[in-house]
Amino acid sequence: DGGITQSPKYLFRKEGQNVTLSCEQNLNHDAMYWYRQDPGQGLRLIYYSQIVNDFQKGDIAEGYSVSREKKESFPLTVTSAQKNPTAFYLCASSTQGTETQYFGPGTRLLVL
């Protein structure tokens, strides 16, 4: 899992602002995922992508957008439509055909 990086480690968002969280992997994994983690809750899936230029909504996609222009990169944008964005965001990746997911170090998003 050391081949997955996320930046920044902390991110502050002002009201009405869109912010983008970066996720990069050099593991040659086909699939990439974004999860949101809130205190006392499990990880919830926001978006996932199994192949370049294709992605699917997860359980809580509203207020978020993603792109997958390169195999190595899967950025997540938290839009102003997401009214409660404060959370710990985790990116993960996996090899096609396997379920094992490896996580990045996470980005903590805070609202000013």
Contact 4, 23 (CB under 8 A): yes
Helical (H) or strand (E) element with 38: none
Q: Compose the 44-83 pattern: x for residues touching another protein by CB under 8 A, - for all others.
A: xx--x-x-----x---------------------------
The answer to the question of residue 94 lying near another protein (CB under 8 A) is yes
Type of residue numbered 110: L
- 48 neighbors 34 (Cβ within 8 angstroms): yes
C-alpha to C-alpha distance for 37 and 21, rounded to whole angstroms: 14
Q: Report the residue from 53, 54, 83, 97 that binds another protein according to the rule CB under 8 A.
A: 97
By CB under 8 A, is residue 42 in contact with another protein?
yes
Give the one residue of 22, 60, 102, 111 binding another protein; rule: CB under 8 A: 102
Residue 81 Cβ vs another protein, minimum distance, rounded to whole Å: 24
**CB-CB neighbours of 3 under 10 Å:** 14
Residues that bind another protein (CB under 8 A): 1, 31, 33, 40-45, 48, 50, 56, 90, 94, 96-106, 108
